Amino acid sequence: MDKTEILERAKAYIKDEKDAGFAKEVKDLIAKEDFAELEDRFYRNLEFGTGGLRGVIGGGTNRMNTFVINNATQGLANYFIKTFPEKAKAGKLSAVVAFDSRRYSDVFAEATALIFAANGFKTYLFTSLRPTPELSFAIRKLGCDTGVVVTASHNPPQYNGYKAYWNDGAQVIEPHDVGIINEVNAVTSVKTISKDEAIKSGKLVMIDKEIDEPYWEMVKAQLFRPELIAKLAKDVKVVYTPLHGTGAMHVEKVLSSLGLNVTTVPEQREPDGTFHTVEKPNPEEAPALKMAVELAEKVKADVVMATDPDADRFGSAVPGKDGKFVLISGNQMGVLLTDYILTSRKELGKMPKNPAMIRSIVTSPMVDKMAAANGVYLSECLTGFKWIASDMARFESTGSHSYIFGFEESYGYNVETDVRDKDGVSAAAMCAEMTLYWRSKGKSLLERLEELYKEFGYYEDCAISKNFAGASGAETMKGIMAKLRKEGFKALGGKKVVKIRDVQQSIVFAPANPSKTEKLNLPKSNVLQFFLEGGTVVSARPSGTEPKIKFYINAQVPSNNGLDAAKKEADSLCNAIKAEINAVLDAAC
């Protein structure tokens, strides 16, 4: 993109941006002739990815600001009006809007709600910040056609985002995502209305407890053993951190009502969009849980729990044999919850007909063995919880299976059907009950995990992420994926590649016979997977919401020679694979 085109886009943006602060940022960049920064802000429009609309807060079409929010909402409204014309004509379309603790979240949410109202939607807006899973729950509870939550989930503080939902409470997927983008790109004017006028006309309704209370009851209703909790809860200490986000009210309320002794990290309890105590408010990363672990060791807690800013992700840590806390990875927690849900349903006679679980394609295949051993169907889907929700909906519409659990390695879990997204609040409650159950059997969560490794083999998961910012970064990532498709890997970590799955091309083939392909029954996505002899899987995937490419390594080794030997072998395999992948990434730079 040349300087003339950049300047034209920048000046058009200034003209249309209603927020003086965002417009001034761009004016100042033009005055300084900072074309590198201007190019980064204007080389594209933000697009819906696996998590919706997400970007750095600031002025520009490639930033999160009121101009982008307004256009996105008007386009979203237009799409629903065209998709459901009779309902729109009768004035019966409805929407619900929620927001998290990030900078501008409340501003963006109110702007979104008022645009929906101006377009004839009966619009519900939460009075204050609420978790993403509650937004999904509210859509279904209120019978809305769509919903939006303003959040950037676990991203660093400079980010914000916008997740759009369908009438089933799940995030928008194809073909609707493409249709919405087309409508957004076609927007020439935005309708809005004042808040007072919207409330007076009945088009804007403020909500809180009428959704909060049913949500709390729904979360508790998923639990299997309320009598066990009532008996043992007082003896369990939980240290919890919401990481300055939305989770405190719900997690504290639910766990405390169950009788659990909950101590929230005081420095991280209050909502704060700067997330000043952590570099990233991401429970996937150890530094984010540092304060919680330190407090847990001080008070001798039994478990550490954490939710990210919009409380859809759930992280945890438990004491090891030496008393030091050990972080439980997303895959490990998924394995433990899978085991507990299967165990409980079998013990209590609550296994439904044709039970099914869902995991993403980059999530540990260990649960495939566990599901098979219990007669449970395992469905694979693309990365992003909207695809898990899509499979849930397919099971319901066809009657083929009964959903019992879904998760992905990035700390996202769903134990209910009332929410069609990952739910950190429900995961916290189920984790608490699971901890009590295994304690009643004389075991810790780590001891139960070791038993599962002995039964199904040892699995270790690691990942490599590399950022490629800006227009040149996007091209670099395209080049890496193109090279991998052309040349691939013949072996990794000394293990031969026996199968390659190209999700973008919808094919599966063996490197020894690449012309003989099988069709892959998944929606197309820019993902490559290399299956190694012995069961290890290596996946390459550019992020749909951040300027980075990610490699997932799901290492599998036998455990019949003991867990110590298995762990040593898995560590060596992961390190060897990471070294080879890093060499490819370094060459690309």
Entry field: residues in the chain:
589
* Residue 505 neighbours by CB under 8 Å, 6+ apart: 485, 524
Instruction: Look at strands 495-502 and 491-492 and give their pairing.
Output: antiparallel
Left (φ > 0), alpha (ψ -120 to 50) or beta: where does 411 sit?
Answer: left
Sheet holding 314-319, edge to edge: 261-264, 237-241, 303-307, 314-319, 325-328
| The residue type at 150 | V
- Tell me whether residue 525 is one of the annotated catalytic residues: no
Q: In degrees, to the nearest 5, what angle opens at C-alpha 287 toward C-alphas 236 and 464?
A: 120
Helices (H), 324-469: 330-348, 366-373, 385-398, 424-440, 445-456
**Chain-centroid distance, C-alpha 529:** 21
H or E element that contains 95: strand 94-99
Alpha-carbon distance 175 to 485, whole Å? Answer: 26
H or E element that contains 24: helix 20-32
The 10 Å Cβ neighbour count of residue 508 is: 18
Active-site annotation holder among 105, 136, 153, 344 = 153
Locate 200 and state its tokens: 């007076």
How would you class 19 by CB atoms within 10 Å of its CB: exposed for 0-12, middle for 13-18, buried for 19 or more? middle
Locate 471 and state its tokens: 């227009």
Instruction: Look at strands 122-126 and 94-99 and give their pairing.
Output: parallel
Left (φ > 0), alpha (ψ -120 to 50) or beta: where does 570 sit?
Answer: alpha
Just list the catalytic residues.
Answer: 153
